């Protein structure tokens, strides 16, 4: 997906996030983020948008010190101004990305064709997942398009888990389940995509990803199949497979290990 597509998704999902937050209420618990209320979610994503805007707009070449997650949740305006504050910061990010020179350079933390491609994609999926959080606070998640969801699975599995082991250990982005090497096969039937993931005590890595005819066979210890949107949410630990039309075959303990041990956190 090209940056303009990610920027449009970022704009759309940010607007849906604000609507969902308003409907759920700022004091509503966010079931996918234990201990958070909707107001905490808004403070976090509002800060992340401002953080990303700074790198894009100022073209900062190196990582700068930032607030911890706990500090983020104490920051921001009064509750009565939170949604407006979030929307203003979201619009700033969309504007900065839309106006950025495709050849601009700034710091990034995942492989991408360019810094603009990285920030557009990362903020599109950051906002999409947190839009789902806000909607889960109200009890219903609007499905994502299959193409966008598959792109989000690619980012999680190929970008986050595609980094070298030293980088993973250095910044603690992932906490990996300690289990014997086994293969988890993720199959998105509506877009005919497969991802084969090896999980072992030494790490988590994607063995292969392919575009296969629906129903094509592949060996795995556990196969998780369903619509790309549901798989996207499941792999980001935003849903329960029993509630999303996902079919699990084989050793379902492998999926449980993924859900218990795989987290992308603010470092």
pLDDT for position 216: 56
Q: Residue 204: give its domain's CATH number.
A: 3.30.1050.10
Same domain, 40 and 113: yes
pLDDT for position 167: 39
Cα 166 from Cα 180, distance rounded (Å): 21
Strand, helix or coil for residue 208: strand
Domain that residue 112 falls in: 3-142
Same domain, 27 and 114: yes
Same domain, 12 and 138: yes
Domain count, the chain: 2
Domain membership of residue 100 (yes or no) is: yes
pLDDT for position 173: 38
Domain membership of residue 241 (yes or no) is: yes
Same domain, 23 and 114: yes
Cα 187 from Cα 247, distance rounded (Å): 10
pLDDT for position 48: 97
Pairing of strands 193-200, 182-188: antiparallel
pLDDT for position 164: 46
Is the separation of the CB atoms in 121 and 1 below 8 Å?
yes
pLDDT for position 168: 40
Q: Which residues pair with 88 in a beta bridge?
A: none
* Best CA proximity match to 212, nearest among 196, 233, 235: 196
pTM of the predicted protein model: 0.89
Q: Give 10-residue mean pLDDT values along the chain (267 residues).
A: 98 98 98 96 97 97 92 92 98 98 97 97 98 95 96 93 48 45 90 87 73 64 95 90 83 86 66
- Name the residue with tokens 């549901």: 230
Residue 42, phi then psi, degrees to nearest 5: -65, -40
C-beta atoms surrounding 159 within 10 Å: 17
């Amino acid at each position: 997906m090209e940056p303009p597509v990610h920027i449009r998704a970022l704009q759309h999902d940010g607007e849906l996030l604000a609507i969902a937050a308003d409907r759920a209420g700022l004091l509503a618990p966010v079931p996918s983020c234990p201990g958070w209320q909707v107001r905490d979610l808004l403070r976090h994503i509002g800060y992340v948008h401002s953080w990303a805007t700074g790198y894009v707009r100022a073209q900062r070449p190196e990582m700068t010190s930032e607030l911890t997650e706990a500090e983020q949740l104490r920051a921001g305006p009064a509750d009565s101004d939170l949604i407006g504050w979030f929307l203003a910061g979201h619009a700033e990010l969309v504007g900065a990305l839309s106006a950025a020179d495709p050849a601009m350079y700034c710091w990034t933390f995942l492989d991408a064709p360019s810094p603009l491609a990285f920030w557009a994609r990362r903020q599109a999926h950051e906002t999409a997942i947190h839009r789902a959080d806000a909607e889960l606070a109200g009890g219903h998640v609007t499905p994502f398009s299959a193409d966008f969801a598959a792109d989000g699975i690619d980012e999680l599995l190929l970008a986050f888990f595609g980094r070298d082991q030293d980088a993973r250990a250095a910044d603690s982005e992932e906490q990996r389940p300690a289990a014997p090497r086994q293969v988890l096969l993720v199959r998105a039937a509506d877009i005919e995509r497969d991802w084969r993931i090896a999980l072992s005590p030494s790490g988590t890595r994607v063995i292969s990803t392919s575009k296969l005819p629906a129903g094509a066979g592949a060996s795995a210890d556990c196969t998780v199949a369903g619509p790309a949107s549901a798989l996207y949410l499941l792999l980001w630990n935003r849903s329960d497979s029993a509630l999303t039309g996902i079919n699990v075959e084989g050793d379902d303990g492998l999926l449980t290990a993924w859900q218990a041990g795989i987290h992308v956190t603010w470092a």
